[in-house]
A and B are shown apart, each in its own frame.
Chain A
């Protein structure tokens, strides 16, 4: 799986949009971009994933650049409960059920 680069930490004011960037310049054509988050000491939580189109669900939006070398996770109205470590993961789904390889992620602190 391709490597990703994320800033180690970010702050966001409560109620504002949180934009978390991720670089994955070596991504290959069959690899998806996944985002998970981990609230302190809890199990990682799936957020969203995409291949090349932008995606939106009830939790977040995922914007993938046209060349697919970077992406941004957007939490539209951050709350204090969104304080967590956010992991950007590039993952091939050939064979379907491979492990998830976590990096160090971005620690997002939502400030009141």
Chain B
């Protein structure tokens, strides 16, 4: 099965601004994940989301972050007040219901200036 798609591919924002990153599933999936990768560093888990609720979150996922699935299709990651250190690639992934595989999207490059 194909992965998810993500929009935008690149987002530039000023420090302190809110950003919303979108993940668009190809079909109806229940499990979603957000990961991020700061340039030159490891891919880090942020949050998992199942059946419209957060099922697990990391230390990185503080009060500045939120996730939701507002219209039953798109899955969004919101950063309320961006900081310079939020600059990273943000990857959305979906979980496969039978194999538990995670299939990643192409990512959104967030640049905070």
Contact = CB atoms under 8 A, between A and B. Distances in A.
Interface string A77-112: 000000000000000010011111111100000000
A103 B45 CA distance: 11
Interface of B: 3, 31, 33, 35, 42-45, 48, 50, 55-56, 58, 89, 91, 93, 95, 100-107, 109
Interface of A: 38, 41-46, 49, 93, 96-104
Contacts of A41: 89, 107, 109
Contact of B103 (A42, A46, A101): A46
B31 A97 contact: yes
Classify the interface of chain A: helix, strand, loop or mixed.
Answer: loop
A43 B93 contact: yes
14 contacts: A41-B107, A43-B93, A43-B104, A44-B104, A45-B104, A46-B101, A93-B100, A96-B100, A97-B50, A97-B100, A99-B58, A100-B33, A100-B45, A102-B43
